[in-house]
Structure 1
Amino acid sequence: MQKKNSLLTEDIKRYNRYFWTWVIGVVAFVALIIVATGFGLFGELPSFRDLENPKSNLASIIYAEDKAELGTYYVQNRSNVRFKDISPNVINALVATEDVRFLEHSGVDFKRTFSIILYNLIGKKQGASTITQQLALNLFSEQAREKSTLKRIPQKLKELIVAVRLERNYTKEEIITMYLNTVDFGNNSFGIKAAARTYFNTTPAKLDPAQAATLVGILKGTSLYSPTRNPERSLGRRNLILRKMADENFISEAEAEKFKQESLGLKFNPASHSEGLATYFRAVLKKDIQQTLKELSITKADGTPYDLDRDGLKIYTTINTKMQRYAEESQIEYMKTLQKEFNAHWKGRDPFKGNENLIKQGMKRSDRYKALIEEGLSESEIEKNFNTPTQMEIFSWRGNIDTVMKPIDSIKYYKMILRNSLMSMDPNTGEIKAWVGGINFEHFKYDQVKMGTRQVGSTAKPFTYAVGIDNGYSPCYQVNNVPYTVTGYGEPWTPRGHVAKQGYLTLRQAMALSQNYITAWVMQQVGPESVAALIQRMGITSNVPPYPSIALGSFEASVFDMTGAYSAFVNHGVWTEPTYLLRVEDKNGNVLFERKPKVVVALNPQTAYIMTYMLKGVVEQGTGVRLRYRYGLTNPIGGKTGTTNDNSDGWFMAITPQLVTGIWTGCEDRAIHFRSTNLGEGANTALPIFAGFIKKVYADPSLGITKGDFEQPTGGISTVLDCNQYHQGAGGENQEGSSENLNERLGF
């Protein structure tokens, strides 16, 4: 018996020895694996510097004048937010669902890990990763979560090590903030800031418990629990999280029940480069910044170039969100009406008769044509493709239309769509407040504010008159309104024109009524070289040859340049470069570069003020008078309409003491246009958009745009502006009383 007990004791000792040897061996093996992982045997681990500066794709944010977000550039729509700007409801929902012991563990919750192992052994699969471990995977793993157990083990070990390191380097607040800034919420929304805006059109600070639970619920599966794709499943997940929040005493039982009765309440606002405010402006701005960074050789600390889609730059602009919205609204409101007029005007007629080449050009410029060429199709095969009906989505002012149409017919359709652009700026600072580069960025990407140039027509006339005023001519000086030929500057030039009023007209009347003959007479007195020089001093960057015809706007210019030029009239003759970008900062707020506008003294201050008086005449008694009689704008406003040959381009340049606005309207091709000047003139195609815009601006007192008059230059005005007191002078007869009101004569 004693021998038997002795043998039993030996067996127990042996088994204990085997057991502890096995346990120690396993522990030693695990420790060895962990040490090996720590030394990078199973892949490189992040360095201390990497932990201090975790890499993630951050969207660059565009800020408007009032610091509101105008848009983003992104590969992943992600913007960081600080802990204090996140609602406690989000933190509570996340902790209650993902990691209830988050505040207690040091990166790895061993207590939870062992209990999860037991659950998995009995077939109840559960995840054991803490929030810190999930952050480690999101930030520092080069791959997604592995499916294979063998591959997952080393990945898991790396997560454990990185999680512990993260806990040593960051506070709990910083860790949970980084986590919420990096996770994917679906619908191209990365981080809680983008998610709050995308799903509820709000900020993270304003999320209530139900909204927070909905967003945290998405993390279980961005597709499976998507509020937009699977709303019922998302609702169930939300209610489960509300239940857990109540269990952890983050909300009361009553609150949980109340919120569970509510619908998801989505205000879905998906991020898109083709949607939102100032889409054309944002596209131009991006190219500008990229070019500037390259030209100035501005790079990151490691020498690599900045990436606007990934590096989280902060871009500060001059755009005013309210004015931008008013400008876009005014464009949409009027262009819908104008397009109807245009369609009715051409009904039953073929606008392409004699312009068949436009269709072929449009075909060859299209993306479809380029794609078919790359596929190796012949011209005949491509032509057949363009004449085969196919399913497509087309633009309309009633919204996008899904239809079946021949691609060649879609080209004709788009050729008949009127385009429009608008820019409005502060003439004193040069800051651009509104930029509408086209009618729909999704369908028409080409920006017509800065990138496009068109003939400017009669909006060029004030440049010629300004040189005349600068040479001593009075706005009250009278000239006979008869055909006039300019000589001495190359071939003799006689402009075409109609006579709005026969006999002698003052220069102010002539410009107000946009009379070509008297404008040509002024050109004869001052010469095209001096006019071309002034135009260039006023910021027109396109080619302006010194020919007499530039008096009537035979040259092309952009809305951007023309608006900047007119600002010099208001700013006492000083041209201030139109500016839309103030500065660009990196993600940490370090300034990469700033913009300061160029300033050029283009005109004598008295001449500039007289030109504002001349331009007011256009609205008071000339081609812009409908601003008064139709739109009720009786405060001091100056302007100039412009209509090019065959009514191809309609312009309106408007000046007020605080805003200068330029507007252009026309089709893609100049050959497609209104057939009558009554419909195609700038007073009908462009002016009404300004009227709608400025009325909205005046109605918003927060903008501070008043209805005051233009300020005289320091020292006052020596020129007589009251034509009743003006005498023509040497060689001329007394012209008192010649400045009569033209409204009755013109039928206004």
Structure 2
Amino acid sequence: MSFPKSMTKLLASTVAAGLLGALALVPVASITGVAFARTNETMQSNLADLEDGRGPGVTTITDATGEPLAYLYSQRRFEVTGDQISQPMKDAIVSIEDRRFYEHDGVDLQGFGRAMLTNLAAGGVEQGASTINQQYVKNFLLLVDADDEAEQAAAIETSIPRKLREMRMASDLDDKLSKDEILTRYLNIVPFGNGAYGVEAAARTYFGISAAELTVPQSAMLAGIVQSSSYLNPYTNHDGVFERRNTVLSAMADTGAITREDAANYQQQPLGVLETPQGEPNGCIGAGDRGFFCDYALSYLAEQGITRDMLDKDAYTIQLTLDPVVQDAARASVVNHTDPAAPGVAEVVNVIEPGSNSRDILAMASSRNYGLDLEAGETILPQTSSRVGNGAGSIFKIFTAGVAIEQGMGLDTMLDVPTRYEAKGLGTGGAQNCPPNTYCVENAGTYKPRMTLQEALAYSPNTTFIQLIEQVGVDKVVDLSVKLGLRSYTEEGSFDGTSSIADYMKNANLGSYTLGPTAVNPLELSNVAATLASGGVWCAPNPIVSVHDRDGNEVYIDRPECERVMDERDAAALTVGMSEDITEGTAAGAASMYGWTQPIAAKTGTTESNQSSAFLGYNDKFAAAPYIYNDGTTTTPLCSSPVRQCGSGDLYGGREPAQTWFQLANNVPAALAGSIPDNSNDFQLGANAAFIRELTGQSEAAARRAAEAEGYRVTTRTVPGSGRPRGTVVAARPEDGTLVDGGTIILDISDGSSPTPPPATSPDTTQDAPAPRPTSPTTPQAPTVQDGVNAINDALRQLLGN
């Protein structure tokens, strides 16, 4: 017997009214509490959610090519449309759960009346007579809308008020949605066991196919499981599931969905489930060696307000910048040089693509396997993107060199290389037998007594750079390192819980900063390389290509603006200055080992304690900084070949870290195609030397004004004119041989005299003449040095052509 919709509504209201009167017979405890307190407003809100029908979905994280690498979810559910569910599946669920589904208006009053009489007589709920509409309401309120345990309990409590509320919403829902829409929403919501929510996840879990491909017996099994997804588990209760499936097949025959002959045949078939349930691992743990990148990307999104809870409950698609070719090359290289299971030592590397408008991370790799088995050396700690280790060592000398270049120093500037240097006001301690209130530094190797700045970058003498940071200023060196990429050094408490690393180093004026003794973030270190490779433009490392919601709408990400932090010319000069490390410096052996011949900028680094070492290398298309450090709980030094903890360290940046870089770069086409700026005479001379050269020939007043306008102090002396008019500059030079900002320039001013003509050549007059200095075809003969000017000034004058 069926009723018109208006009659059904009237009967439903009558039944509800009668039952409300009967509630007086029900114990008070069963009709009070959260369930009874729900207001009509709450029901309308629930109904709106039911109409939308969206439950928690699966967020998919992909690499740059779109290949999935991880999934996030609170319920593993893949929503599908009605035409993506096979007809046998729809027939099976209707046949066993609600065979009058297409006839009633959301509530089956015939079945409900019988059930309610039984329930009232029993003083509780013994029979449900729930339609698919009602089951959808119950499951949605339980699995989707419930925010806490109280609401979950209210969604499934065995009470008449809950049943009435369920009926009301089920009936209203039938007015708003078509039958197929209701059935589709129901099949997308209900649990099927083994972590599968919704029919699409169930089809994948048990049969490895989509819901659209489900056959009659497969559909019957899944429809049967809905009755009790925990009990009816084909992997633990095969016989129970087999019997239930056959019951569903019989019900399908009763409703005419299949013939009885077909039902009998299907009932003889095995369940045909996969050997083990198939599913997607939840979280970055399923990403393998991509797990470090995955974790970093989630942290990055959380800072954007896209939280893990949001990702777990919705179905986003997140595309990472991870390049699988580069990632595989990075992982292979670090594992080749540092054993994943080696106790107390790890190697990490990040690969960043240089750019002045964006800064994509292409790979994040660790020698450690990403996982939870600590005994096997696995970890999920953010090794690649947090401050770890004992520092990058001499790589920090590039910051001191960078400031010197910014202050006008040229790559050909000669610098002293004493075997020991004792500095006042740069901290205390250091080398043995150091006097009080003094910082003492010695070199690790033997060097010639003087080097150019470019040579010093290649060979890395400690004493030279302590002298240089003393000259240019610790505060300026720290600031440049932060601007180039070590941004976390300004975080409050990063040094000792109260001070930032940057503030502490500057306030204490610690010259040791140039030797790199502080823990470093490997991602930031690689970004330093990328900033220099980008001509001095800093951009935040970016792990995300895009984020889209379940409707395909792109989610806005607030990306920091890129910043020019170093003059392009100065960045290029520093890059050229770092180019000899692989040809004659500390990384030459590693470059030769891997047959590397293309120009790059590079710097090795090792801490004094040998607890960590690194290699920074880049060109305009590729930047990376392999970093090996002690990741154990002791302060044991590290040794090379193989990399391990040992009694006395001998691991240096030119060994495994540099070797890692070259093996990696050899397998990345962009690295092989990159370049660095061409050398320039201006780079060699330095901006200040070029400025000094321009003063020659000017009047004393004009030269003084020009120098003082640039912040230099000026002293003068009168010298023979050498053909220059009286009062003009014959030569200019720095007072200390090296000119830095605020330094003193000495101007040699012509007295107007003409040079004495050389006498006729004769043996008597030429024997006493000083031998001319040798010159090259490209270097003019320098004038005679007056008044015993030292060799340094003489060489500079010759270089400037005066």
How far does the alpha carbon of each residue in 1:48-102 deviate from its partner, in whole angstroms, 9 at most, with x for none? 332222498736736445566554555x234553417945376566556655665
Match of 1:561, SS state, is helix
Q: In 2, distance between residues paired with 1:583 and 1:567?
A: 22
User: What amino acid does structure 1 have at the position aligned with 2:382?
Assistant: D
1:320 aligns to 2:283 (yes or no):
no
1:710 aligns to 2:709 (yes or no):
no
1:425 aligns to 2:388 (yes or no):
no
Matching of residues 97-112 of structure 1 within 5 Å: 98=97, 105-108=104-107
Matching of residues 230-241 of structure 1 within 5 Å: 230=237
Matching of residues 302-451 of structure 1 within 5 Å: 307-308=309-310, 311-312=313-314, 314=316, 316=318, 318-320=320-322, 322=324, 326=328, 329-330=331-332, 333-334=335-336, 337=339, 339-340=341-342, 416-428=343-355, 429-436=358-365, 439-442=369-372, 443=374, 444-451=379-386
> Which residue in the other structure is 2:175 paired with?
168
8 Å Cα contact 1:426/1:659 also seen in 2: yes
The normalised TM-score by structure 2 is 0.61
1:672 aligns to 2:674 (yes or no):
no
> Which residue in the other structure is 1:461 paired with?
397
Match of 2:166, SS state, is helix
Structure 1 counterpart of 2:229, from 219, 222, 237 = 222
Structure 2 spans left out of the alignment, 5+ residues: 1-10, 24-30, 120-125, 143-150, 428-437, 490-500, 639-645, 686-775, 783-792
Q: In 2, distance between residues paired with 1:324 and 1:33?
A: 71
> Which residue in the other structure is 1:617 paired with?
580
Distance 1:602 1:291, change over 3 A: closer
> Which residue in the other structure is 2:733 paired with?
none
> Which residue in the other structure is 1:159 paired with?
166
User: What amino acid does structure 1 have at the position aligned with 2:673?
Assistant: G
Q: In 2, distance between residues paired with 1:638 and 1:178?
A: 59
8 Å Cα contact 1:612/1:638 also seen in 2: yes
Q: In 2, distance between residues paired with 1:719 and 1:231?
A: 81
1:527 aligns to 2:473 (yes or no):
yes
Q: In 1, distance between residues paired with 2:44 and 2:575?
A: 64
Match of 2:339, SS state, is helix
> Which residue in the other structure is 1:732 paired with?
795
Distance 1:569 1:153, change over 3 A: same
Deviation at 1:517, TM superposition (A): 3.6
User: What amino acid does structure 2 have at the position aligned with 1:47?
Assistant: M
Match of 1:47, SS state, is helix
How far does the alpha carbon of each residue in 1:578-611 deviate from its partner, in whole angstroms, 9 at most, with x for none? 2346787777778886322232212121222333
Q: In 2, distance between residues paired with 1:201 and 1:424?
A: 36
1:275 aligns to 2:275 (yes or no):
no
Deviation at 1:248, TM superposition (A): 3.7
Deviation at 1:116, TM superposition (A): 11
> Which residue in the other structure is 2:432 paired with?
none
8 Å Cα contact 1:223/1:229 also seen in 2: no
How far does the alpha carbon of each residue in 1:456-496 deviate from its partner, in whole angstroms, 9 at most, with x for none? 21221221222233344444555565425264644554433
8 Å Cα contact 1:188/1:271 also seen in 2: no
User: What amino acid does structure 2 have at the position aligned with 1:165?
Assistant: D
> Which residue in the other structure is 2:698 paired with?
none
Distance 1:309 1:186, change over 3 A: farther
The normalised TM-score by structure 1 is 0.65
Q: In 2, distance between residues paired with 1:695 and 1:653?
A: 15
Structure 2 counterpart of 1:32, from 7, 11, 17 = 17
Distance 1:467 1:274, change over 3 A: same
Match of 1:640, SS state, is strand
How far does the alpha carbon of each residue in 1:180-210 deviate from its partner, in whole angstroms, 9 at most, with x for none? 4422243444345655676678876787888
How far does the alpha carbon of each residue in 1:702-745 deviate from its partner, in whole angstroms, 9 at most, with x for none? xxx463123649xx9564679x9997996438999xxxxxxxxx
> Which residue in the other structure is 2:457 paired with?
511
1:61 aligns to 2:7 (yes or no):
no
Match of 2:193, SS state, is coil
> Which residue in the other structure is 1:660 paired with?
623
Q: In 1, distance between residues paired with 2:154 and 2:225?
A: 17
User: What amino acid does structure 1 have at the position aligned with 2:324?
Assistant: K
Match of 2:615, SS state, is strand
How far does the alpha carbon of each residue in 1:545-593 deviate from its partner, in whole angstroms, 9 at most, with x for none? 1422211112333223322222210111011122346787777778886
Structure 1 counterpart of 2:442, from 483, 486, 496 = 496
Match of 1:642, SS state, is strand
8 Å Cα contact 2:75/2:195 also seen in 1: yes
Q: In 2, distance between residues paired with 1:589 and 1:37?
A: 51
Match of 1:618, SS state, is coil
Structure number with greater Rg is 2
Structure 2 counterpart of 1:182, from 171, 181, 189 = 189
Structure 2 counterpart of 1:640, from 592, 600, 603 = 603
Distance 1:654 1:162, change over 3 A: farther
Distance 1:707 1:311, change over 3 A: same
Q: In 2, distance between residues paired with 1:237 and 1:726?
A: 96
User: What amino acid does structure 2 have at the position aligned with 1:51?
Assistant: L
Distance 1:644 1:180, change over 3 A: farther
8 Å Cα contact 2:600/2:676 also seen in 1: no
1:52 aligns to 2:48 (yes or no):
yes
> Which residue in the other structure is 1:742 paired with?
none
Structure 1 spans left out of the alignment, 5+ residues: 1-25, 299-304, 341-415, 699-704, 737-748
> Which residue in the other structure is 2:86 paired with?
88
Identity %: 22
Distance 1:144 1:513, change over 3 A: same
Distance 1:241 1:648, change over 3 A: farther
> Which residue in the other structure is 2:749 paired with?
none
**Farther off after superposition, 635-644 or 230-239:** 230-239
User: What amino acid does structure 1 have at the position aligned with 2:481?
Assistant: I
Q: In 2, distance between residues paired with 1:206 and 1:475?
A: 70
User: What amino acid does structure 1 have at the position aligned with 2:171?
Assistant: V
Match of 1:499, SS state, is coil
User: What amino acid does structure 2 have at the position aligned with 1:136?
Assistant: V
Q: In 2, distance between residues paired with 1:192 and 1:660?
A: 46
8 Å Cα contact 2:231/2:237 also seen in 1: yes
User: What amino acid does structure 2 have at the position aligned with 1:671?
Assistant: T
8 Å Cα contact 1:679/1:685 also seen in 2: no
Q: In 1, distance between residues paired with 2:797 and 2:170?
A: 93
Distance 1:254 1:451, change over 3 A: farther
8 Å Cα contact 1:616/1:637 also seen in 2: yes
> Which residue in the other structure is 2:137 paired with?
136
1:567 aligns to 2:530 (yes or no):
yes
1:452 aligns to 2:381 (yes or no):
no
Q: In 2, distance between residues paired with 1:280 and 1:688?
A: 22
Match of 1:531, SS state, is helix
Q: In 1, distance between residues paired with 2:177 and 2:308?
A: 27
Distance 1:603 1:500, change over 3 A: farther
> Which residue in the other structure is 2:406 paired with?
470
- Pairwise CA RMSD: 5.3
Deviation at 1:680, TM superposition (A): 3.1
Q: In 2, distance between residues paired with 1:243 and 1:614?
A: 83
Match of 1:577, SS state, is coil
**Farther off after superposition, 666-675 or 622-631:** 622-631
Deviation at 1:164, TM superposition (A): 2.3
Structure 1 counterpart of 2:419, from 478, 483, 508 = 483
Q: In 2, distance between residues paired with 1:37 and 1:292?
A: 54
